[in-house]
Structure 1
């Protein structure tokens, strides 16, 4: 457990962020906070401040818009993330990605492990790397262990696109960006995605840009939402 002196800077930082109305500013790649392992949450923010911070993360995520947001993405090095995905996608995208609606969730001190050996590759984006997307191969199913905002245990298996969101956001808390796991030959601007690579699966992008995909059927997807 940290001392009050240890806790003060983080609480003060959060209070400063919350002093302004509206969505919080999102930190972009190149800021050291995105490359540090976030500090486990053990009460650094008292309950009412934690509740206000979580709500600000929700507002910021929705305004971006994105389907997930980790505390380091707003400059706070705590192991806290939020996810939510209404999944307003066509049926062909839903089937290809396994993208189903996810309610708003708060993940405190999350960690994940793969369930099985399945992997799938899709284009992914990130609110901290605006304007770009790349193909990332990730586990198709993971077991997430965490706490919620009230300290209750979370132990749940996620599959498909929800599993991708969980992995992306938990990686943020370990100082890892999606580009660290991406096939860099697939890196494409949002303009290129709109003009060239918006297909349901990335096979055409793989052929055109010269990169490989894990497996075959069901291993791809169109441009992904930012998280």
Structure 2
């Protein structure tokens, strides 16, 4: 994902192009600049969140989730990777397994000319696991604003509440289809909270500054 932000115009698409991809290894370090060239050296940021669950005959149920907030501040370049993997292996319809992996990642970046690569992946695999329930969900929320956004206590409180409810859902015994629906509902709540936060930020535009990348994979059904 690359963002080339120009001054605000009635058509925000002229200042932004979003795409998926991996950053080259060199993104982890920003190029050095002479001290006299700028008052603050440009820098890059990196974040990677990965949730993995594995259920089998020895551990019939394994459920894990993550809810992370990465506030990069003003950066020249950033890469963010979010991934969820769930595996069910070797169980049967009479002795079934349940494997759930859910990862919520919130990334905020500030800057007029920021280059961002965002990767969001999920994979659920059943390995000789008849009747198993396996669900992997990756939700990546990217907030890109002209100036760095810092969440206030009210916004943090709302996100903490959603995090607690995600934990409860992950540990629940809801069927996979119902669990997917409810997790999608929580993702919608996160988006609404972020819209409100951006609306109160300088030059913020909730309709263009907040992007959700969602990927779900699961058995039974996809």
TM-score by length of 2: 0.25
> As a proportion of its length, which structure holds more helix?
1
TM-score by length of 1: 0.25
> As a proportion of its length, which structure holds more strand?
2
Kindly name which structure, 1 or 2, has the bigger radius of gyration based on alpha carbons.
2
